Structure 1
Amino acid sequence: MELSPIALVLLGLLLAGWTFGAVWLVLAAQKRARQARTARGMARRLTYMIEDSPAIPLLVRPDGRIEGPDRLAAWLGFDALPDYLSELAGEDAGLDADDLAHLGDAVRRTQKTASPFRMVVTPVGSRKSLALRGHQADPVVAQSGTALVWWFDFSESQSELSKLRAEAAGARTDFAALVGLIEAAPMPMWFRSDDAELRLVNSAYVKAVGAQSADSVVKDQIELIEPVDGLSAAQIAQQAREQDMPFERIVQATVGSQRRTLRVSDLPLGKEGVAGYAIDIEEMEEQARAFRAFREAQRSMLDQLSVGVAQFNADQLLEFANQPFRRIFALPGTTQLDPPPFDRFLDIARDAGRLPEVRDFPAWRKELTAIFTAGEAHEDAWTLHDGTHLRIVAQPMPDGGLVFIAEDRSEQLALSATRDTLLRTRTATFDSLFESLAVFAPDGRMQLWNRRFPEIWGLPEEYLDEHPRADELLDAIGPHLARPAQRKAIGDVVRSATLDRKQRSGRVQLSDGRTLEFAGVPLPDGNGLLTVLDVTDSKKAEDALRERASALEEADAVKTRFLANMSYEFRTPLTSIGGFAELLQSGVAGDLSDQAKEYVDAIISSVERLSSQIETVLDLTQSEAGLLPLATEEVELLPFVTQIVREREEAIENGGLSLDLRGDRSAGKVMADKRQLGRALGNILDNSISATPKGGRILVALSRRQKGVKIVISDNGQGMKPSELARALDGYRLDADGKPAKRRGGLGLPLARQLIEAHGGRLELQSEKGSGTTATILLP
């Protein structure tokens, strides 16, 4: 069938419409599919957001059915959410009956009146705090009459809120207590507003300024602190507020009727104002002044000590060191301006060689530094390389400091060593003495003794080891005494030495015949020394000497009588012979022949010579016996010696000798017996004349000494050997055959020596064989 073009066009239009509709349907379907996917994605996102949101929704339908997520069941302690609101109550989960009833009433009221509600519930057996907010659900969400309840877990907020409430209550309590405390505070306290005017003061402030009340102080703006350097207390408080930092100062103020020292503090409190308080530190200042004075006095006193003392503070810095301490450790003067720490002090002392040598100095120094924190004092002994011994005491102080004391004990140790040596020496000396010694204390107890003491009294040594008392010792000694009653005399001597501090002595006889002499001597230490000596042999010798002395006295008396008789018996016949010879010479018996005259002259010469010899012998004998009389007078020496020399001019000329007399008036005068001193000088001069050969020379010299006079008579004659010189000065002696010993010069030199010694002088002879002899006479 052939279609018309119009039909074809209509058919084409119809097919095109169907195609367009199909395309439109396909595009619409795709759009709806995209919208569905978007809606599903949005639903999922909303679901996840609700799941992660802090609030959980719960729909309560008019019939009481509920719809909500399982997370709410977990909050309420259920495994799954119940179907009805009334089933939210349970024993171990859900809400308690009261909370559930209150919730039910609120939900029903909302369903009927659309009024929202709020409440707080706590699940059974849980500490969660759940906040409920309910309102009528939108019809889009649920059917009309449905309530939507949002559940919030604000457990942390509730805890924080409870804590804040508790803190607020506590703050209010503390504030009330603080206000009461400020009011009752003994120190003045105040508060200033932002314009630095007083707004609040306590009662101590009112009392300090002498006002009637706090209101009057605030009203009249009565200041406690006086202006300082042109700045009032309000201005200083304003500066503290502007700089937002506390100001503290010490000022003088009148508190009541007294001037006191106050420490004033201004504390800015932000925009609120400035608080202030004043602490009375007058007593503290007085104590500080007293402490400073005490410290200065203490340090001045420490400077006077011989012990070195140093103080280190809590920072281990050298705070003070007295002069002995600086001298001991050789501290330089810079340490006073720049105090070193303790470890640096040790380094300085080590560099100066004032520390002991140690192997590990850093470890040793660290050990010493640890004393600062030690709980007790540390004491040590240091020996330095120069032999100095130091006693070190380190005392930690409660404030964390350290007192370091160094005492130089070198001298004490030396004295101790010397004392030990002296004690040992004393003990050895005691034991080596022939005397027996014992030392008794003032209480009578025996302290020390030597080995001789028990031996001399016949006591066992073990008995003395018990240190017996004096009365006990005397009881032990009593049986050994010849007369036991003499023990009282020994006790009196011991008592006198120890208590009366007097020295006494005595003598006792022992039963075995020995004689003991004892004495008590007080010692400087308060003890008494009893010394006992066995004088048995001495007593026997004393008795023998006493008998011999008696015999010698008798012999001396016999000798005196003999000398007196011999002087008479010798001189009387010689005088008679000389007188008869002179009568014969004068011709009384007639004229004599020349030979008879020679015989008479020889007799007269022999009589004179024999008279001189007899007089010399008698004088020598009297001088040896101490019976020679001296008639002393003042003698001028130069004329006296000149006269003696002139008397021997003839003998000097006959011998062909020359004599030189040296001296002047400066020789002065002496007190002497002119006759005896002249004989002494004459005998010495005669000896020189006889010993000097022809052509020899004799020197006589006089000189004044500081104490006395010196006369020298020397010659260049034959001289003498030492043995001959010794015999020349001896007296009359017999040789081994009983005959008189040969001597040079006869008895002149011995007599001269004795005559000079009788004048208080001294004769010295120096002689050399072939060179001559020098006699030196020294007179006072």
Structure 2
Amino acid sequence: MTLSPTALVLAGLLLAAWVLVAAWFVLAARGREKRAESALRNARRLARMVEDSPAIPLLVRTDGRIEASPRLAKWLGLERVPQFLTELQEDGAGAGGGGIPVMQLGELADLVRRTQKTGAPFRMVVTPAGSRRSLSLRGHLADPQVSPGGAALVWVFDFSESEGELVRLREDAIRARADFTALVGLIEAAPMPMWFRERDGRLRLVNRAYVEAVQGESAASVVEQQAELVEAVDGLSAAQVALQAAQMNRPIERMVPATIAGQRRTLRLSDLPLGEEGVAGYAVDIEDMEELARSLRAFREAQRAMLDQLSAGVAQFDAARVLVFANQPFQRIFALKPTILLDPPPFERLLDMARDAGRLPEARDFPAWRREKAAWFRDSAAHEEAWLLGDGTHLRVVAQPMPDGGLLLIAEDRTEELRLSANRDTLLRTRTATFDSLFESLGVFAPDGHMQLWNRRFAQDWGLDGEFLDTHPKVDLLLERIAARLQRPAQAKLVGEVVRAATLDRKQTGGRVVLADGRTLEFAGVPLPDGNGLLTVLDITDSQKAEGALRERNAALLEADAVKTRFLANMSYEFRTPLTSIGGFAELLEAGLGGELNDAGRDYVAAILASVHSLGEQIETVLDLSQSEAGLLPLAQEEIELLPFVTRLVEERAGAISEAGLTLDLRGDQSAGRITGDRRRLARVVGHLIDNAIAATPRGGRVLVDLAPTSEGPRLVVSDNGPGMDAATLARALEGLKSGSAAAAPAKAIDRRRGLGLPLARRIVEAHGGTFELLSEPGQGTAAIIQLP
């Protein structure tokens, strides 16, 4: 059958429509399949998410059946999830020992029934039996899409960790509340003012000490009045300083004065920012501390001023071993510069400086020695050492550790002390040797009566045993031994009284005793400067015998002196009477009464008269010298004008001077004045000196007579330029012996100076209160000097 084109078109269209419909169904089926697969994946994902979620759903139907995940059985300690709610009790899980306790399960059942009936949600916490797990149950009416018919959906949360955290937080909260209460009580009972400010600087809380400090009625009134503890300093109030601390988020501490209970006190204020809460503050009364600090500074300054006055060197080191003080003696001993305290060195560096200056003892290993001395800081006991320096200085060094960890170093220069000690030992040995070598007995007694020192002669004189004296006996025991050796034992008390007077009364007394063997001892007590007493004993036995002999000899001398006196009294008559007779008869012969004499007779008479005159002078000289030696020379007291007196004596010898061919130079001054004396004897002295000068001067020589005033009185000098005398000849001339040999002087000079003229001249001048001096040198002449008062 042949189809028309229209039919073919329609058939094609129909087939095309069929294909399109079939294709649409295929595509729709594939879409539904993909959506089903997506829904399944979503369901699985949701189921997995529910399984992995921290909460497990428990569906409780109205008939008591339950539906839940097996995870819930593990949480409850069951092997499997039961069918009914009542089977969740603790004994319904078999031997596992899990489940919900009966009381909690009954409460859960009641809450579930109420929710099913009323739709009211509930919450409760259960703890499975035998487990520490804490489960939170939150129940509400289930959605009809989940379970129609009024089932209850209970979500079970395991909040064991949260519960533990909550318990800990509760305990911390309780502890914090207790601590806060204690802290508030502590702050309230604190003796120092404390406060708290808000962010704007206003006071919010103050304690009781703050209220008492500002003399407020109560803490509330102080806060209400905003009473500040301290006044503004430098234009800044206490609130402004607290705001600065809050802005900088840094504590501010300062010291300000304040008036507390009517007294001016120094407070140390501290403002502590507490974040956004505000600013806390407290004030510490440091007035006592400041007073102690001032006292300590004053004490330290006074101590250091005192240490500067000590002769010992003192240095202080702090806990860091740095020098903080060194007095002047310390700087001098260790040769430190005065600027040492401007840059204080540590202890080890100070030792190095002293070593460089040669003020430390020599050490083979100086670093080890220095470490040994640095260990003084760690010791608790003091150290004392003796240092011998290279220049011979002896130092006594004491290192005293201080409680603050520092060190006090004391250096004392004992060089002089050791030298004095050595000298003292030498003096003691010398004293002992001196005591033992004396002929005099010595004993030293202390004020308490004990014998301290003695020499060997003391034991010998008193007949004492050396062993007994070595016991340093008291004077009472000593007197018992001495009494047994005395001729009169009772005299021993006299020795004790002398010792007691020297030691206690500080008086010097003495005495004399006779021993039984006939010896005589003289003793004396002398107080010593150290409080002891010295007993000196001298054996005067021989001196007593010599004294007796001297008394006898003195009596004989007195008798001889009386004889000499009588002899001198008669000598003038015995010598002069014959001489006067001879002279008288010679003069009669010369006058011609016996007849006219020839020339030879007249020469003989003239010689007799010259001899009589010379012998008369010699007799006068001998008599005057004898009387002067005996102290019996009579001196007349006449007023003598010196210049005319000397001039007359020179003029009387003008002929002799001219005959000898000499030149005489007379020098005088009227200001020489006058003296009072024996004119005749002074004339003999001056005339004798002029005669000696004339006789000793060779022809053509010169004789000088000089009279001049001096500050001590008139002085007369008679000198010549003759041959002079040596020292031995001069001494013999003054003694009245022959002055020299024939070669040294002319025979005439020897004759004139032989005899007693010069000794008599000296004695007459000395009898007038003057001095006589004879000067002579060989070849230079001789000068006689008379100094009158």
Distance (whole Å) between structure 2 residues aligned to residue 257 and residue 193 of structure 1: 29
2:390 equivalent to 1:385 = yes
Q: For structure 1, which segment, 508-517 or 350-359, has the greater mean C-alpha deviation from structure 2 after superposition?
A: 350-359
Structure 1 match to 2:762? 753
Q: Which moved more, 1:491-500 or 1:682-691?
A: 682-691
For the pair 1:287 / 2:296, whether they are aligned, the reply is no
Q: Aligned residue pairs: how many?
A: 728
Q: Does the 8 Å contact 1:346/1:365 carry over to 2?
A: yes
Q: Secondary structure at the match of 2:473?
A: coil
1:522 maps to which residue?
527
What is residue 349 of structure 1 aligned with on the other side? 354
Alpha-carbon distance change, 479 to 578 in structure 1, aligned in 2, over 3 angstroms: same
1:763-774 equivalence runs, <5 A: 763-768=772-777, 772-774=781-783
Residue 202 of structure 1 pairs with residue 207 of structure 2 = yes
Seen in structure 2, the aligned counterparts of structure 1 residues 668 and 285 have a Cα distance that, compared at 3 Å, is farther
The question of whether the paired residues in 1 share the 8 Å contact of 2:246 and 2:273 is answered with: yes
- C-alpha spacing 1:433/1:743, structure 2 compared with 1 (3 Å): farther
Residue 542 of structure 1 and its aligned partner are, at CA, apart by 1.6
- Amino acid of the structure 2 residue aligned with 1:758: A
Shift of 1:65: 13
Separation in 2 of the partners of 1:91 and 1:511?
138
Which residue matches 1:676? 681
8 Å contact kept, 2:72–2:81: no
Q: Which residue of 2 aligns with 1:268?
A: 273
Partner of 1:12: none
2:245 aligns with 240
Q: In the alignment, residue 268 of structure 1 is paired with which amino acid?
A: P
Q: Which residue of structure 1 aligns with residue 448 of structure 2?
A: 443
Matches within 5 A, 1:642-661: 642-661=647-666
Equivalent position amino acid for 1:563 in 2: L
CA distance in 2, matches of 1:356, 1:313: 24
The 3 A distance-change label for structure 1 pair 87 and 458 is same
CA contact (8 A) 1:129 1:158 kept: no
Task: Summarize the Cα distance change of 1:182–1:509 in structure 2 as closer, same or farther, 3 Å threshold.
Answer: same
CA drift of 1:237 comes to 1.4
2:519, 2:616 → 1: CA distance?
Answer: 58
After superposition, the CA RMSD in angstroms is 4.4
Q: Is the 8 A contact 1:635 1:672 kept in 2?
A: yes
Tell me how far 1:429 sits from its aligned partner. 0.8
Give, in whole Å, the separation in 1 of the partners of 2:442 and 2:48: 125
* Segment of structure 1 superposing worse, 555-564 or 216-225: 216-225
1:564 and 2:569 matched: yes
**Partner Cα distance (2:518, 2:212) in 1:** 105
Distance in 1 separating the partners of 2:719 and 2:787? 14
> Measured at CA, do residues 326 and 637 of structure 1 come closer, stay the same or move farther in structure 2, by a change above 3 Å?
farther
CA 455–91 in structure 1, closer or farther in 2 if over 3 Å, else same: farther
Structure 1 residues not aligned, in runs of 5+ = 1-27, 734-740
Q: Distance in 1 between matches of 2:759 and 2:180?
A: 130
Per-residue CA shift, 1:647-683, capped at 9, x if unaligned? 3222222111223345545766666544334333332
Q: Does 1:483 align with 2:488?
A: yes
CA offset digits 1:27-48 (Å, max 9, x no partner): x9xx99xx9xx99xx99x989x
Question: CA–CA distance in 2 between the matches of 1:93 and 1:706?
Answer: 153
Q: Is the 8 A contact 1:93 1:123 kept in 2?
A: no
Shift of 1:215: 2.3
Residues 571 and 366 of structure 1: is their aligned pair in 2 closer, same or farther, counting only changes over 3 Å?
A: same
Structure 2 counterpart SS, 1:372: helix
Distance 1:316 1:94, change over 3 A: farther
Quote the residue 2:469 is aligned against. 464
Shift of 1:480: 1.3
Which segment drifts farther, 283-292 or 196-205? 283-292
1:497 and 1:246, CA in 2 relative to 1: closer, same or farther beyond 3 A?
Answer: same
Match of 1:272, as an amino acid? E
Name 1:512's counterpart in structure 2: 517
Between the aligned partners of 2:562 and 2:651, the Cα distance in structure 1 is 41
Shift in Å at residue 522 of structure 1?
0.7
- Per-residue Cα deviation, 1:347-389 (whole angstroms, up to 9, x for no partner): 3333333332323333333333332332122222222222222
Query: What runs of 5+ residues in structure 2 fail to find an aligned partner?
Result: 1-29, 739-749
Q: Which residue of 1 aligns with 2:439?
A: 434
Q: Deviation of residue 180 (structure 1)?
A: 2.0
> 2:743 — aligned with what?
none
1:494 is displaced (CA, Å) by 1.0
Label 1:537 to 1:106 Cα distance change in 2 as closer, same or farther (>3 A): same
Q: Give the Cα separation in 2 of the matches to 1:745 and 1:537.
A: 45
Matched ranges for 1:399-418 at <5 A: 399-418=404-423
- Distance 1:559-1:54 versus aligned 2 partners, 3 A rule: farther
Q: Cα distance, 1:527 vs. partner?
A: 0.8
- What's the counterpart of residue 365 of structure 1? 370
Same amino acid, percent of matched pairs: 62
Q: 1:205-230 deviations in whole A, cap 9, x for unaligned?
A: 22332333322222222222212222
Contact 1:762 1:778 in 2 (8 A): yes
Residue 176 (structure 1) shift? 1.3
- Cα drift, residue 187 of structure 1: 2.6
Alignment of 1:548-587 (within 5 A): 548-583=553-588, 585-586=590-591
Say if 1:652 and 1:658, in contact at 8 Å, map to a contact too: yes
Which of 393, 401, 405 pairs up with 1:396? 401
Counting only pairs closer than 5 Å after superposition, residues 667-706 of structure 1 correspond to structure 2 as 673-701=678-706
CA gap of 1:406–1:159, structure 2 versus 1, over 3 A, is farther
Aligned partner of 2:741 in structure 1 is none
- Deviations for 1:391-417, whole angstroms, at most 9, x for unmatched residues? 222222222233222222222222222
**Inter-CA distance 138–558: structure 2 relative to 1 (3 Å threshold):** farther
Q: Does the residue aligned with 2:484 lie in a helix, a strand or coil?
A: helix
Residue 179 (structure 1) shift: 1.6
Structure 1 contact 55–151 (Cα < 8 Å) conserved:
yes
SS at match of 1:379: strand
Amino acid at match of 2:395: L
- Distance change (3 Å), C-alpha of 1:767 and 1:209: closer
Alignment match of 1:257 (pick from 250, 259, 262): 262
Cα distance in 1 between the residues matched to 2:684 and 2:244: 124
Letter in 2 for 1:459: L
Using a 3 Å threshold, how does the CA distance of structure 1 residues 470 and 765 change in structure 2: closer, same or farther? same
Residue number among 323, 338, 343 corresponding to 2:328 in the alignment: 323
TM-score, structure 2 normalization: 0.80
CA–CA separation in structure 2 for the residues paired with 1:198 and 1:237? 10
| Contact 2:101–2:129, Cα closer than 8 Å, also in 1 | no
String of CA shifts for 1:165-219, please: whole Å, max 9, x gaps.
Answer: 3332222112112222222333322221111112222233223323333222222
Secondary structure of the residue aligned to 2:172 is helix
Matched-pair contact (CA < 8 Å) for 1:184–1:203: yes
Q: CA deviation at 1:552?
A: 0.9
SS in 2 for 1:211: coil
> Structure 2 CA distance, aligned partners of 1:195 and 1:118?
47
CA 1:270 to 1:90, structure 2 compared with 1: closer, same or farther past 3 Å? same
TM-score normalised by structure 1 residue count: 0.81
- Residue type at the aligned position of 2:330: F
Partners of 1:615 and 1:466 in 2: CA distance = 74
Task: Return the offset for 1:517.
Answer: 1.2
Show CA shifts across 1:718-773 (max 9, x none).
Answer: 4445544433332479xxxxxxx999522222222333443455544454556644
Q: Say whether the 8 Å CA contact 1:567–1:618 is kept in structure 2.
A: yes
CA spacing shift, 1:107–1:676, aligned 2, 3 Å: same
Paired AA for residue 505 in structure 1: G
- Is 1:625 matched with 2:630? yes
Give the conservation status (yes or no) of the 8 Å contact 1:68–1:81: yes
Q: 1:107–1:134: 8 Å Cα contact kept in structure 2? A: no
